[in-house]
Amino acid sequence: MKRVRRPSPQMVAVLFALCERGKDQSHGYDLCRILDLQAGTVYPILRRLDERGLVETSWEQDPPQGRPARHLYQLSAAGEDLVAELRQLEAHSDRAAVTPPPRPLLGST
């Protein structure tokens, strides 16, 4: 049986935030502000998600003059599946764990 490594709370938070945006694409800095996480935390996570095929990326079309195109992120189908799985796990752990209190999955969100 394939062992699935549980993602970090920060990665889960990024995945959930991307999921909430639905088909809208997000900038890395938007995610930093929404999740109150540092860029140094969010960008390595986005790179890992990209490498694992959990997000789809593209470059901004028609950026304002004098500014480079920003990178945009959107959850892929595989990412959506993982989020659904994580939500199930979260619901299950909420029901199962009475004492001690469950570890927050979403970090600071």
Partner 1 sequence: MTPRRAGWLAGLVVFASVGALEWAVTIDRGGPESGDTMGGNGFALGATLRVIILATATGGLVASIAASKRGRRAAAFAAISAYLVVGLWTWWQSANSPAAPGEDPGRYALGLVTTFVTVGTAFALTAALIAWWIVRNAVGRDGPERVLALETASLHGSRNRWGAAMRAELASIDDPAQRRSFARSAAAAAFRHGTGRWPVILAAFAGIGAGVVVFCAARISFDRPRDRGIISEPLMGLVVVILVSAVVAGTLIGRSFRAGIETAVLAWLAVYICTIAVEVPQALAWYHEEGILLLDGEGAAGAGVDATAAALQPISHSAFIFVSVSQLVIAILAAALGAGILRIAQQRTRTPDAAAQ
Binding site for partner 1 (CB under 8 A): 27-29, 32, 38-41, 43-44, 46-47, 50-51, 60, 67-71
- Minimum Å distance from CB 98 to partner 1? 37
Nearer Cβ to partner 1, position 13 or 86? Answer: 13
82 burial type by CB count under 10 A (0-12 exposed, 13-18 middle, 19+ buried) = buried
Nearer Cβ to partner 1, position 47 or 92? Answer: 47
- Minimum Å distance from CB 51 to partner 1? 6
DSSP-derived secondary structure for 41-63: HHHHHHHHHHHTTSEEEEEPSSP
Nearer Cβ to partner 1, position 55 or 82? Answer: 55
Nearer Cβ to partner 1, position 78 or 89? Answer: 78
> 């470059």: which residue's tokens?
59
- Minimum Å distance from CB 95 to partner 1? 36
What are the angstrom distances between the C-alpha of 49 and each of 38, 62, 109?
17, 25, 19
- Minimum Å distance from CB 16 to partner 1? 21
Q: Helices (DSSP H) in 7-108: which residue ranges?
A: 9-20, 28-35, 39-51, 77-96
